Amino acid sequence: MATLLHLDASARPGRSGERPHGSHTRRLSARFVQQWRQARPGDRVIYRDLGLAPPRPVTGDWIHAAFTPPAQREPWMHQALAESDALVDELLSADLIVAGVPMYNFGVPAGFKAYIDNIVRVGRTFGFDRERVGEPYWPLLAGQGKRIAVLSARGDYGYDERLRAMNHVEPAIRTPLGYLGVDWAGSVAVEYDEFGGERLQRSMEAAEAGVDALVAQLLADETAVAA
């Protein structure tokens, strides 16, 4: 049995196609999880809404607590890290992360950035030893087969081509998660949100087909590993 960690980061409640001004990324991530569950109903799904209930940003107290050895932490330090610990526990238990992350001003929403800051944890998701010869940092999640699929939405179009240098969504996710040892599964995005009309509709249809293909590929990979 696999565990999926389903993350939504859109500030928009509801899904497009079901609710006026609903979220395209919530629509795509829900489609992904629904298809996965149809194929593997026994798998576990953990859901976290980072858009409507974003994690608290990292503070000075958080940093002090995180870099204090666990055996030396004071009670207030454990409290400062409680939410981060819960988020890390979910990540550790997951085999596949399905993240609905829209593009806001060329990057990820603030709630998702706060999530990243809370799960990049010394001693829990990455190792560090200043005396270590060679590379003092190393991923603690490497070799566990964890993967992430990113489902995004963009107001303009061409962020994989003409505007590639302005796309700071997938790189902002792939880099820190890869640093922890999570492998990239793939990404799908709907574009033309600010244009609407037929162009948005065609892009949504292509994105939904892309989600279907990504689910099929990942399910095939699961079957191959189990064989």
Q: Is 47 annotated as a binding residue?
A: no
Q: Is 106 annotated as a binding residue?
A: yes
Q: Is 192 annotated as a binding residue?
A: no
Q: Is 105 annotated as a binding residue?
A: yes
Q: Is 126 annotated as a binding residue?
A: no
Q: Can you spell out the DSSP letters for the chain? A: --EEEEEE--SS-SBTTTSTT-BHHHHHHHHHHHHHHHH-TTSEEEEEETTTSPPPPP-HHHHHHHTS-GGG--HHHHHHTHHHHHHHHHHHH-SEEEEE---BTTB--HHHHHHHHHH--BTTTEEE-TTSSS-SEEESSTTS--EEEEEEE-SSS-TTTTTGGG--SHHHHHHHHHHHTPEEEEEEEE--TTT-HHHHHHHHHHHHHHHHHHHHHHHHHHHHHH-
Instruction: List residues forming the annotated binding site for FMN.
Output: 10, 103-106
Instruction: List residues forming the annotated binding site.
Output: 10, 103-106
